[in-house]
Amino acid sequence: METIISKHNKKVTNESPTTTPDNTCNCRKKEECPLNNNCLTTSVIYNAHVTTNEDATGKDYIGLTEGTFKKRFTQHKQSFRNQKYANSTELSKYIWELKDKNKDYDIQWTIITSAKAYNNISKRCDLCLTEKLHIMKGNKDSLLNKRSEMISKCRHENKFYLMNNRTLSN
């Protein structure tokens, strides 16, 4: 049992999630990449700026992803297309509000910053902390995020629990 735990600990502490692959974009149509050919960037805090014809100043949503931005972007697109996911994020709630009112919208995606996800040695997640900092600093009038997000628990810590590691059973 000791060797299993030791092997697990070595595996999770040696992972380097903030490394960016050599290929920063794998979009078929490079001109349609949501992040100017940087969609494969990992461990980022991003901003989605939503504008409409009536609201040129727009609304902002701040989010994070430990994986690639492209994977998270795909999940957002699914929540915009499929109404059963309409309540998955504050951004999707807002998009469905606009759709219900038959308003056209445009979303501009940008990376605010990158940070390291939860570290089992330091017991902190710079990714979650940085997102919370940007939400706190954001303009309350134009920010879609809720202040209740400030008290949410880091979900990146879970992968370090031995019971959640499925590779040990192999």
Is 35 contained in some domain?
Answer: yes
Average pLDDT over residues 68-86: 95
Structural domain boundaries enclosing 41: 28-158
Is 72 contained in some domain?
Answer: yes
What's the pLDDT tens digit per position in 15-70? 544 444 468 999 999 999 999 999 999 999 999 999 999 988 999 999 999 999 99
Tell me the C-alpha distance between 117 and 108, whole Å.
Answer: 24
Is 15 contained in some domain?
Answer: no
Tell me the C-alpha distance between 117 and 145, whole Å.
Answer: 20
Indicate the SS3 state at residue 98: helix
What's the pLDDT tens digit per position in 85-133? 999 999 999 999 999 999 999 999 999 999 999 988 888 999 999 999 9
Q: Between 91 and 161, whose confidence is greater?
A: 91
Task: Report the pLDDT value the prediction gives residue 3, as an integer from 0 to 100.
Answer: 76
Q: How far is CA 29 from the centre of its chain?
A: 23
User: Residue 76: enclosing H or E segment and its boundaries?
Assistant: helix 69-81
Torsion of CA 103, 108, 114, 119, to 10 degrees: 20
Task: Report the pLDDT value the prediction gives residue 90, as an integer from 0 to 100.
Answer: 95
Is 92 contained in some domain?
Answer: yes
Query: Token pair for residue 128?
Result: 């979650």
Number of domains in the chain: 1
Is 1 contained in some domain?
Answer: no
Average pLDDT over residues 65-92: 95
Select from 109, 103, 113, 111 the least CA-distant residue to 56.
Answer: 103
pTM exceeds 0.85: no
Is 18 contained in some domain?
Answer: no
Tell me the C-alpha distance between 131 and 114, whole Å.
Answer: 10
Task: Report the pLDDT value the prediction gives residue 120, as an integer from 0 to 100.
Answer: 86
The strands making up 59-68's β-sheet, listed across from edge to edge, are 59-68, 42-52, 105-114
Is 83 contained in some domain?
Answer: yes
Is 77 contained in some domain?
Answer: yes
